[in-house]
Amino acid sequence: MRKSLIVVAVAAAVAIGSLNIASAKTKSLYHRLGGKTAITAVVDEFVNNCAGDTRINKFFADTAKDPKRLAKFKKNLVNQICQASGGPCKYTGKDMKTAHKGMGITDADFNALVEDLVKALDKFKVGATEKNELLGALGPMKGDIVGQ
């Protein structure tokens, strides 16, 4: 009986150790991106890219003129990316259809925005796997943004 208990205890310890190793290897996208500080840096760069992109900067002109509105916009983007990547943040902004209603955003505009995000991710040397996962998490929003 005692020998059986020892075998069970050893088996349990091995199983728990395996779980810890597996969980260490499967960090959330949020953690692999570098957490909120890294996401904030990417968002700052992304917003700068959009502001300098003549294809789409007209959509951000009013926001860019108002420091409070710009800060809120950036905060919402950080929280949206943080939440979409499995982080602890909660996006509390408008839903995408409401936020983009009447803007007339086209596929080309959306693609330009994605290019500006990829450029920001590349600047911070975000890995291809993480970049693709993030774009995959954000991509489904396209239908709620384009053509509203």
| Separation CA 146–CA 79 (nearest Å) | 21
Task: Report pTM.
Answer: 0.80
In a domain, 91, yes or no: yes
Whether residue 108 lies inside any domain: the answer is: yes
Question: Quick check: is 23 in a domain?
Answer: no
Which pLDDT score, from 0 to 100, does residue 25 have?
65
Asked whether residue 16 is domain-assigned, the answer is no
Render pLDDT for 10-45 as a digit per residue (tens, 0 to 9): 334 444 444 444 444 689 999 999 999 999 999 999
Phi, psi of 101 (to 5 degrees): -60, 130
* Domain boundaries, position 132: 29-145
Domain assignment of residue 83, yes or no: yes
Q: What is the CATH number of the domain that holds 85?
A: 1.10.490.10
Count up the domains in the chain and report the number.
1
In a domain, 19, yes or no: no
In a domain, 5, yes or no: no
Question: Which tens digit of pLDDT belongs to each residue from 76-130?
Answer: 999 999 999 999 999 999 999 999 999 999 999 999 999 999 999 999 999 999 9
